[in-house]
Amino acid sequence: MIKNRHVLILMIFILFLGSSAFAGSQARIGAAGAQELLIPVGARGIALQGSNITDIAGTEAIYWNPAGLAAGQRTEAMFSYMSWIAGIKVSYLAIGANIGQSNAIGFTLRTLNAGDIEVTTTEEPEGTGEMFSPAFLVVGATYSRMMTDRIHFGFTTNLITENARQMKATGVAFDFGVQYRNLVPGMHLGVALKNLGPDMKFDGPDVEYPVNTGGEPGSRSRPAELNLAKFDLPVTFEIGLGYNYNFAEDHKASLYGNFRNFNLGNDYYMGGLEYGFKDLFFLRGGYLATQQNDDNIFGPTFGAGLQANLSGTSVGFDYTYRTVEYFDANQFFSLRIGF
């Protein structure tokens, strides 16, 4: 009874936050900023299209569902790298550690490199010869707790920084997650509310422009400033189910399904399937669909993973390939080391 009360309270709390985040009009679809928060990290989770929020564990859980961090190893580090779209590179570093038997903390660093972009102006639309490199950085801190042997809860605080030439925007976003493992033997439930936070706004010297104060040629100009609008964070609410089935002693199959509601975009439906042999070798696949699939450029995912235990140190490597319309296919690499 106590276990059920715990999970009920947590679910009500996350649903209450989610109802506040999704109160906006559908006419604002596409208006969210800080899109780097939506770029997935971790090759295993991406191979399953993020559908495994039900039982994902360790440092990779921090992005998908922070509740799973406490279910990982005592200490774990993960590095993930991927080639996204249009030559954009995303790097991700996560470190997690268990504190006692029930608590865990983690820290993450995510960078997005868009490369060099040529500066153009109304006077020189072909380019001024000057280049600039936008910088996107997300730093996070996570706390996770195993409230019972079945119920896990976690939250993350992310600090967001965006720079483009002399313009800068900063913000903070919060993620919340719950996992209820073994609702019935082998079946798990996951809920996650991500990117909840106040609006962001760009500011800096580049918003200034000269205005002529007189009507005559040669009149003095004075600096004026554009009043830029604020933008919302891309809040998502997800709920998923997963089922693990062990067969023929050394073989395991996991089937996942997930629904994602997006405050300023179309809803997502995600599914994934994973096969594991002796917890050493894994094959994975996933599929994502939206309400209007014409807006979805990402196709099926295919991945594989290796896990080895070397003198008490766990080493895992995962690779995922995702087809993309209009761009080269995405490739994702993750390396995990646990102690």
pLDDT at 59: 95
Confidence band for 10, pLDDT divided at 50, 70 and 90:
low
Percent of the chain topping pLDDT 90:
53
Tell me the C-alpha distance between 150 and 71, whole Å.
Answer: 10
Kindly list the distances between the CA atom of residue 33 and the CA atoms of 14, 113, 169, 264, 265, in Å, as whole numbers in the listed order: 22, 17, 10, 10, 12
pLDDT at 24: 47
Confidence band for 219, pLDDT divided at 50, 70 and 90:
low
pLDDT at 212: 66
pLDDT at 72: 83
Kindly list the distances between the CA atom of residue 314 and the CA atoms of 146, 237, 259, 317, 338, in Å, as whole numbers in the listed order: 22, 32, 32, 10, 5
Is the pTM for the entire model greater than 0.85?
yes
pLDDT digits (tens, 9 = 90+) for 64-74: 999 999 998 78
Domain spans, the chain: 2-19+53-198+233-338
Backbone angles phi, psi at 243, to 5 degrees: -135, 130
Instruction: Convert 169-203 into a string of H (helix), E (strand) and C (coil).
Output: EEEEEEEEEEEECCCCCCEEEEEEEEEECCCECCE
| pLDDT greater than 90 at residue 118 | no
For tokens 């859980």, the residue is 61
Considering only 52-66, 87-101, 221-235, 319-333, which range has the smallest mean pLDDT? 221-235
* Contact indicator for 24, 264 with CB cutoff of 8 Å: yes
Tell me the C-alpha distance between 213 and 219, whole Å.
Answer: 7
Second-level CATH architecture of 2-19+53-198+233-338: Beta Barrel (2.40)
Contacts of 234 (CB under 8 A, 6+ apart): 32, 33, 34, 35, 37, 38, 195, 262, 263, 264, 265
| pLDDT greater than 80 at residue 146 | yes
